[in-house]
Amino acid sequence: MEEAHFHAAFLTFESMQSQNNGVLNIDAVFVVHVKHDLERETWMQQQLDRLGIAFRWMLEADLHELSPEIIEQYFSGDEMAGAPRPAHSCALKHLFIYRTMVQENIGSALI
């Protein structure tokens, strides 16, 4: 089984645009988002459209969707003991993006 490697990077929109003459050398862009924050959604949509970056929203695992059973299923032991529920939501959204990457054979992504 091939090992997957994940790297995190923090870039401004302007630095993303200037790299590779405006072309990102990645297979996909995912935006972690909550369904009810329409102001942030509009802002992110405008920024990424302005840069010509195609992207996908990650909307699964919002706070109201996290039952104790779901948290227990994905977080066992001490890994996130005592973490606030928003941390569980954010972690699950990232996990679901990684799952999507594996299922769709996406080799690299900006999250």
* Interval 9-49: pLDDT, tens: 444 445 444 443 345 688 999 999 998 899 999 999 999 99
* pLDDT score of 1: 36
Handedness of CA 24, 29, 33, 35 (dihedral sign): positive
Q: Please state the separation of Cα 25 from the chain's center in Å.
A: 17
Q: Confidence band (pLDDT; 50, 70, 90) for 8?
A: very low
CA distance 43 to 90: 19
Stretch 92-107: mean pLDDT: 94
76-87: string of b/e by CB count within 10 Å (b at 16+)? eeeeeeeeeeee
Task: Please give the pLDDT value at position 42.
Answer: 95
Mean pLDDT of 44-63: 91
Which of these, 31, 74, 97, lies nearest to 83 by C-alpha position? 74
